[in-house]
């Protein structure tokens, strides 16, 4: 009869993701807590019914993730958001799907925005885990709102860039009808997407949320973009990209 030999290397216990659930609706709040509690690797450490309670619970329990509703009495989600972000990543989980609210939540530091009815249970659990690793999480309505913001900002950015001191005359027949042969810069498809969002006025955080990548990855893309455009700043990169100043020619 063989005897199991204990391993000399003890197995480290995997620490569960500790979650604070904030929602003024007691049914929704209890349902979320019960749902997450059934999943391995997730622990609901506290619940709160408004922003004031959320601040107190976050300070006391130091969760890894905060699930935050928008519309709540006393102190609402947007108001308390900047106070929670320094404590833990915040994932908005709400029925509010207005573009202005989505954009403001991301601007105030939310790491993701999920609209009820647009995700499955598995996607919710995945989002909770992803946000702890710096990956942005958006459901379709939220992603559309951020893209709409980028497109709305693009004309204003374009006008500002056209006022740059060095002007480049447009050439007929070049790429995209803009007078700019952007292919010569050698940007990858993802780098072009990031550059378009930069032109639309998005911050690194907003770009990360829109592209479902981490802010570190966004910074890496931007560093490569700046190198290829020979730019030292966002405004200079935008001017080169829009063709209002002369950009480099790629060789090889």
Question: Of the residues 96, 111, 138, which one is the last residue of a structural domain?
Answer: 138
More confident site: 176 or 136: 136
In a domain, 73, yes or no: yes
Please check whether residues 31 and 124 belong to one and the same domain. yes
30 with 126, same domain: the answer is yes
Residue where a domain stops, chosen among 118, 138, 158: 138
86 band by pLDDT with thresholds 50, 70 and 90: very high
Predicted confidence at residue 169, as pLDDT, reads 31
> Cα(181)–Cα(194) distance, rounded to whole angstroms?
18
Indicate left, alpha or beta for 230 from its phi (over 0: left) and psi (-120 to 50: alpha).
left
pLDDT reading at 13 higher than 80? no
In a domain, 127, yes or no: yes
Looking at the structure, tell me whether residues 23 and 130 fall in a common domain. yes
Residue 167 lies in a domain: yes
**Stronger pLDDT, 187 or 161, i.e. the higher one:** 187
Domain count, the chain: 2
CATH number at residue 42: 3.40.50.2300
Estimate the crossing angle of helix 189-199 against helix 140-161, to 10 degrees: 70
User: What's the pLDDT score for residue 153?
Assistant: 65
Sign of CA dihedral 123, 128, 133, 137: positive
DSSP per-residue letters across 18-42: EEEEE-S-HHHHHHHHHHHHTSTTE
pTM: 0.63
Pair (74, 30) in one structural domain: yes
Q: Identify the weakest region by mean pLDDT among 83-97, 115-129, 214-228, 232-246.
A: 232-246
pLDDT of residue 246: 54
Other CB atoms within 10 A of residue 35 CB: 15
Better-predicted residue by pLDDT, 191 or 12: 191
Mean pLDDT, all residues of the chain: 81
Least confident of 121-125, 147-151, 178-182: 178-182
Residues 124 and 224 in one domain: no
Contacts of 191-195 with CB under 8 Å at 24 or more apart are 191/221, 191/224, 191/225, 191/228, 194/218, 194/221, 194/222, 194/225, 195/225, 195/237, 195/241
CATH number at residue 214: 1.10.10.10
Each residue's pLDDT tens digit, 60-70: 999 999 999 99
| pLDDT (tens digit per residue) in 16-52 | 999 999 999 998 999 899 989 889 999 999 999 999 9
Q: Is residue 48 part of a domain?
A: yes
Domain of 199?
149-242
Percent of the chain clearing pLDDT 90 (strictly above) = 39
């Amino acid at each position: 009869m063989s005897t199991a030999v204990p391993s000399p290397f003890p197995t480290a216990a995997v620490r569960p993701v500790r979650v604070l659930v904030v929602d003024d609706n007691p049914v929704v709040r209890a349902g979320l807590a019960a749902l997450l509690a059934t999943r391995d690797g997730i622990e609901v450490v506290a619940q709160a019914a408004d922003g004031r309670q959320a601040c107190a619970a976050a300070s006391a329990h130091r969760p890894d993730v905060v699930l935050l509703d928008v519309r709540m009495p006393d102190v609402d989600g947007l108001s308390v958001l900047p106070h929670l972000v320094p404590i833990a990543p915040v994932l908005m989980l709400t029925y509010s799907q207005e573009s202005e609210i989505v954009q403001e939540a991301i601007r105030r530091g939310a790491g993701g925005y999920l609209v009820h009815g647009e995700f499955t249970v598995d996607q919710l659990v995945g989002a909770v885990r992803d946000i702890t690793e710096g990956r942005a999480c958006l459901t379709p309505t939220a992603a559309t709102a951020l893209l709409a913001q980028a497109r709305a900002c693009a004309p204003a950015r374009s006008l500002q860039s056209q006022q740059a001191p060095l002007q480049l005359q447009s050439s007929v027949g070049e790429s995209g009808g803009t007078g700019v042969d952007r292919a010569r810069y050698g940007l990858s498809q993802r780098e072009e997407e990031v550059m378009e969002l930069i032109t639309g006025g998005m911050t690194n955080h907003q770009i990360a949320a829109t592209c479902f990548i981490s802010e570190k990855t966004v910074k890496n893309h931007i560093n490569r973009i700046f190198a290829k455009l020979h730019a030292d700043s966002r405004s200079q990169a935008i001017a080169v990209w829009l063709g209002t100043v002369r950009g480099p020619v790629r060789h090889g």
